[in-house]
Amino acid sequence: MFNGLPWSPRVPVGKKTSVNEGGAQLNASVGPAGECILALSGRLDAYTVGGFWSRARRLLDDHPATPVRVDLTAVEYCDGAGVALLLDLLRQPRATAAEVALVNVPAKVSQLLEPFDAKALVEIPGSRRPPGLRQRLADSLHDLGRDLYLHMVFIGEAAAALAHGLTHPARVRWKDALRIAQEAGVNALPIVALIAFLMGVILAFQSAVAMKQFGAEIFVANLVALSLFRELGPLMTAILLAGRSASAFAAEIGTMKVNEELNALTTMGVDPVRFLVVTRVLAAVIIAPLLTIFADLVGLMGGAMVMMTFDVPFVAFMNQVSQAVSPGDFLGGLFKAAVFGLVIAGVGCLRGLETRAGASAVGISTTRAVVSAIILIVVLDGLFAVIFFHLGI
């Protein structure tokens, strides 16, 4: 104790404690009125403040009831790290008569501190309690509902813009639409062919092994054809497009958003939705059914090859397919594929437009685009199954 004021025994009467760190120095002493004086001198930068930051905080903690004056008379240079140190000292919760104050602040340091309010940075103890389980579930449901709502609104807006473009063909950039269709459709033929062929082979083989016990191998053609035309063809093609095209759309538009190219389009009076989204939606809606037809045919070829190993001729396989598949099965699959294409392009473009600033923003948008598109595709496929059942399709 010194003059009735709490004081650390490490600071004897009439002496100072000092900490040197590179080109900066911290001196702690007792003022004439018993206040604690922290005198900073030299350069307060990222290379020096780390050495005595904890020391300055410890001095404040050792004297919670003593006024503290931070003297900056001898400060020669201060950068963001130095400002952070000063704000950290100012924001510490202390008694009313023991507040921390800055004295003899140079003009340059004052300009750096001016945009900040140290009192607003004070964290009230216990004010940030982790949310409970109910609150987290409620927040998750709210975010999910809001996300689904934004998806539906944007897909509707994209569909409206697409309808406007089809009614005014001269306003559609057909060259860009064809280029996007080539990149998303023609370049996807190899991977679609591989997956469809393997899907047909696996379906036929697994089914034939079970059917052979009953001598009904010929009906494997019915199973493979109906599965491909009604479900697996559109669904598999849509998932592949989601991985290839939705991610590409999100990355392209997201990069434009980060580079502020979308702001430039808006400044020039160009609607980014009609300029960027319509061409991608148009290309996806056209290529999704075409890729589905291609996948159906390749899948049937794979199934036919397997059935030939079970002594079922190719002609018999195709005759059975023609009898099992109706035009409603074929057209229903194409309709589902067109809707899936609309969803894939809409979600990819939406995630691209939602891209924020930052190095990882484009990657996050791409990931969210693929995940969201696949989830919506599966949900819509289930809804289509229920609707087609009640309609008798």
The per-residue pLDDT for range 196-222, each reduced to its tens digit, is: 999 999 999 998 888 888 888 888 888
pLDDT at site 16? 52
Phi, psi of 257 (to 5 degrees): -70, -45
Quick check: 104 pLDDT over 80?
Answer: yes
Residues in contact with 131: Cβ distance below 8 Å, sequence separation at least 6, in sequence order: 139
Distances 151 to 101, 148, 345 between C-alpha atoms, Å: 52, 5, 11
CA-CA-CA-CA dihedral for 101, 107, 108, 113, to nearest 10: 40
Q: Return the higher-pLDDT residue of 136 and 23.
A: 136
> Residues 303-306: contacts with CB within 8 Å, 24+ apart?
303/200, 303/201, 303/203, 303/204, 303/220, 303/221, 303/224, 303/225, 303/228, 304/200, 304/204, 304/221, 305/201, 306/200, 306/201, 306/204, 306/205, 306/208
Whether 203 and 235 share a structural domain: yes
Distances 138 to 50, 131, 133, 304 between C-alpha atoms, Å: 42, 10, 9, 51
Q: How many residues does the chain have?
A: 393
Whether 285 and 366 share a structural domain: yes
Mean pLDDT within 276-299? 91
Number of domains in the chain: 2
Mean pLDDT within 58-76? 82
> Residues 56-63: contacts with CB within 8 Å, 24+ apart?
56/26, 56/85, 56/89, 57/88, 57/89, 57/92, 59/8, 59/28, 60/89, 60/92, 60/94, 60/100, 62/8, 63/6, 63/7, 63/8, 63/36, 63/98
Whether 199 and 319 share a structural domain: yes
Whether 27 and 147 share a structural domain: no
Quick check: 243 pLDDT over 70?
Answer: yes
Residues in contact with 173: Cβ distance below 8 Å, sequence separation at least 6, in sequence order: 275, 279
Q: What pTM was computed for the model?
A: 0.65
Specify the amino acid at residue 2: F
Mean of per-residue pLDDT scores for the chain: 82
| Euclidean distance between CA atoms 134 and 140, whole angstroms | 10
Residue pLDDT, tens place only, 150-172: 878 877 877 787 787 778 777 77
Q: Return the higher-pLDDT residue of 71 and 132.
A: 71
pLDDT at site 6? 35
Whether 155 and 61 share a structural domain: no
Quick check: 125 pLDDT over 60?
Answer: no
Quick check: 8 pLDDT over 70?
Answer: no
Whether 87 and 211 share a structural domain: no
Whether 248 and 371 share a structural domain: yes
- Boundary (domain end) residue, out of 121, 152, 184: 121
Quick check: 89 pLDDT over 50?
Answer: yes
Residue pLDDT, tens place only, 293-320: 999 999 999 999 999 988 888 898 899 9
| Euclidean distance between CA atoms 51 and 24, whole angstroms | 9
In a domain, 85, yes or no: yes
Phi, psi of 38 (to 5 degrees): -105, 105
Domain that holds residue 200: 140-391
Residue pLDDT, tens place only, 14-54: 445 566 666 778 888 877 777 788 888 888 888 888 777 88
Whether 271 and 361 share a structural domain: yes
pLDDT at site 45? 82
In a domain, 23, yes or no: yes
In a domain, 205, yes or no: yes
In a domain, 126, yes or no: no
Q: Say if CB 55 and CB 25 are below 8 A apart.
A: no
Whether 195 and 277 share a structural domain: yes
Phi, psi of 225 (to 5 degrees): -65, -50
Please give the radius of gyration of the chain, using alpha carbons only, rounded to the nearest integer.
35
Whether 227 and 145 share a structural domain: yes
In a domain, 9, yes or no: no
Whether 94 and 237 share a structural domain: no
pLDDT at site 127? 52
In a domain, 152, yes or no: yes
Q: Which residues make beta-bridge pairs with 41?
A: 25, 74
pLDDT at site 159? 79
Whether 174 and 102 share a structural domain: no
In a domain, 10, yes or no: no
pLDDT at site 3? 34
